Amino acid sequence: MKNRILAGIFLGVALTLGVLAAGCGKEKTLSENLETGQTEISQEETGSQNQAGSQEQAGQPALKSFQAETLDGKTFTQEDISEKDATLINFWSVSCSPCVSEMPDIAELEKSLPDNVQIITVCLDGRRGAESAAEILTEAGFEGATLISADGDLLDIVGEIIYMPTTIVVDQDGNLVGDAIIGGQKNLEEVFTGAINEALRSTGKTEIGNGEE
């Protein structure tokens, strides 16, 4: 039976994102975990998924309408997605060792991107882990937006996440492009750049990493 680590959402009054996961080898659905409130997570098993892979999702997820709060108290919406040709979104948790370990690489890549591409993160610990998240991001040097609460389409996508970390790329219209990237990546820059370029190609934009602006 396929090992699975279910990462879900902790729904508070303010729709704060959180982590609800069943242990390795469990085949429970997201709704069952929400009902039982299990919080166990196998970080080693999460980090063992070192290849890009498909994320099973119902239909074609898209970020057409949502509102989120950032770690620094600002608001992030689909309009912030539409301002860029491609947006890479990394879903992570402060309790996930592979997520934390790859954050410096994500930060380094984020600083190298042209103005038409952005990287944002979604901290699945929400406000409960905000202080720890801020420390991790500061130490890593990540300067992009980090979201800690959400509604609408973004909350729907969070509800479909199975593994942590999970990374997706959306185009200017908020459409998911390519497969989700599952687990920590040893060759993160190569994998993430490839995913970003796939999104840029899909809309006829210039790829990054080829010496062109």
Amino acid at 181: I
Q: Choose among 132, 130, 69, 139: nearest CA to 103.
A: 139
**Strand positions, DSSP E, 124-199:** 146-150, 166-171, 181-182
Work out the number of other CB atoms within 10 angstroms of the CB of residue 25: 12
Residues of the chain with pLDDT under 70: 1-60, 210-213
* Beta bridge mates, 70: 147
Residues contacting 106, CB < 8 A, separation 6+ = 90, 119, 121, 140, 142, 188, 192
pLDDT at residue 95, as a whole number: 93
- Write down the pTM of the prediction: 0.74
Could you give all domains of the chain from N- to C-terminal order, each with its CATH number? 51-202 (3.40.30.10)
Q: What are phi and psi of 91, to 5 degrees?
A: -95, 125
Cα 204 to Cα 16, 82, 201: the distances in Å are: 36, 15, 5
Cβ pair 76, 68 in contact under 8 A? yes
Task: Identify the pLDDT of residue 145.
Answer: 97
Question: Using one digit for the tens of pLDDT, what is the confidence trace for 4-28?
Answer: 323 333 322 222 333 333 222 222 2
Instruction: Give the pLDDT score at 59.
Output: 52
